[in-house]
Amino acid sequence: MVAKMVIETENLRLVPCDAQLLKMAIKGNKQLSKFLGVSLADQWTTFGVDALQYALDQILARPGELGWWTYFPIHKLDNTLIGSGGYKGSPTEDGTVELGYEIASGYCNRGLATEMARGLIMKAFMDNRVKSILAHTLAQSNASTTVLAKCGFTKIEEVESTEDGLIWKWELIRP
């Protein structure tokens, strides 16, 4: 883990996952907790092991993309891993990255998802290649759409997904 890539916000420390950290997360909660030296919130991830394995495969295939995949949000006061988030790879040729995030239910409705998203947005826009950030949500008002709206995203399109049905596509353009 490269210390300079950690994103600090008021209540969170967003730890970028390298291959070793992702392997620990895939092994299980006990190993991950010990490796990070933190507690884990109940059901800290709904994305699951498949998403972690996918990120690991991408980092191993393209080590230069380290920092453009998974981040683990550690709640500073509780020293607890409370979710996951990050990007779906480094900026594309046209300068877009896609953002995703999740917060354990016991930590919802405290502004932490918004805080995590803002930290990830700030990190992305520190890279001059990034012109816009995309995100996708289910096609209904929910906690995630509220987070994106608070962060300045605009709903730009409705898209049919083979996995999720109708989804909304959101965009935040570099200020």
Neighbours of 26 (CB within 10 A): 15
Interval 92-112: pLDDT, tens: 999 999 999 999 999 999 999
Q: Report d(CA 51, CA 106) in Å as an integer.
A: 21
Which residue ranges of the chain lie beneath pLDDT 70?
A: 1-4
Number of domains in the chain: 1
Interval 67-99: pLDDT, tens: 999 999 999 999 999 999 999 999 999 999 999
- pLDDT at 5 (0 to 100): 86
Q: Report d(CA 149, CA 51) in Å as an integer.
A: 25
User: What pTM does this model have?
Assistant: 0.95
> Which is it for strands 83-87 and 96-103: parallel, antiparallel or unpaired?
antiparallel
Q: Which CATH number covers residue 97?
A: 3.40.630.30
DSSP type of residue 17: P
Q: Report d(CA 96, CA 124) in Å as an integer.
A: 10
> Which is it for strands 132-138 and 96-103: parallel, antiparallel or unpaired?
parallel
Residue 70 belongs to what domain range?
A: 3-173
The DSSP element (H or E) to which 155 belongs, if any, is strand 154-161
Q: Are 22 and 52 in contact (CB under 8 A)?
A: yes
